[in-house]
């Protein structure tokens, strides 16, 4: 597979409909890395790994998490914990995030129901054409 394709910053930006500045900002705060920069031109290039990472960040944003929260979650994904206490810490962090997410899902389902109810109220009051 052509899994070794690399992208320029503007390709990546266009791909997700964000600005290059946003990508640089994510690097600035340590959420993305740009290794393999051209040693002469200093231009950034991104692998499929970084592309996936960016995709995760944007998913998190759409779900209403802050960049800090997203960073913690991604660190969770990419951590390789040494020792039992480290593992326990990660597992309990995961558990608390899971509870938070499940709570959000429930609330969203309630909101959905609410909107559906109000919508139907209007639909049933429509004049037959």
Partner DNA sequence: AACTATGCTAACGTTAACGTCAACTAGGAG
Partner DNA sequence: CTCCTAGTTGACGTTAACGTTAGCATAGTT
Q: Residue 16: name its binding partner from its own copies, DNA, none (Cβ under 5 to 8 Å by kind).
A: none
Report helix, strand or coil for 46.
Answer: strand
> What's the half-sphere exposure (Cβ side, CA atoms, 13 Å) at 85?
0
Judged by CB under 8 A, the residue of 1, 42, 84, 85 near its own copies is 84
Most distant CA pair in the chain, distance: 71
With CB under 7 A as the contact rule, the residue among 42, 62, 121, 128 that binds DNA is 42
Paired residues of 7 in beta bridges: 46
Task: Indicate whether 63 belongs to the interface with its own copies (CB under 8 A).
Answer: yes
Helical H runs in the chain?
9-16, 20-28, 48-62, 67-78, 84-124
Binding mask 89-108 for its own copies (x = CB under 8 A): -xx--xx-xx--xx-xx-xx
Sign of the dihedral through C-alpha 80, 84, 89, 94: positive
By the rule CB under 7 A, 10 interacts with DNA? yes
Q: Of these partners, its own copies, DNA, none, which one is at the site of residue 50 (CB under 5 to 8 Å by kind)?
A: none
- Is 19 a binder of its own copies (CB under 8 A)? no
Establish if 52 lies at the interface with its own copies (CB under 8 A).
no
């Amino acid at each position: 597979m052509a899994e070794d394709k690399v992208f320029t910053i503007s390709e990546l930006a266009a791909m997700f409909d964000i600005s290059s500045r946003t990508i640089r900002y994510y690097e600035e705060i340590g959420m993305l890395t740009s290794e393999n920069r051209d040693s002469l031109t200093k231009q950034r290039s991104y692998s499929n790994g970084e592309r996936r990472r960016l995709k995760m960040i944007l998913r998190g944003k759409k779900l209403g998490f802050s960049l800090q929260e997203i960073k913690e979650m991604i660190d969770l994904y990419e951590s390789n914990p040494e020792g039992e206490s480290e593992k326990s810490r990660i597992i309990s962090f995961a558990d608390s995030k899971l509870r938070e997410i499940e709570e959000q899902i429930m609330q969203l389902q309630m909101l959905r129901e609410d909107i559906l109810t109000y919508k139907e109220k209007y639909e049933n009051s429509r004049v037959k054409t």
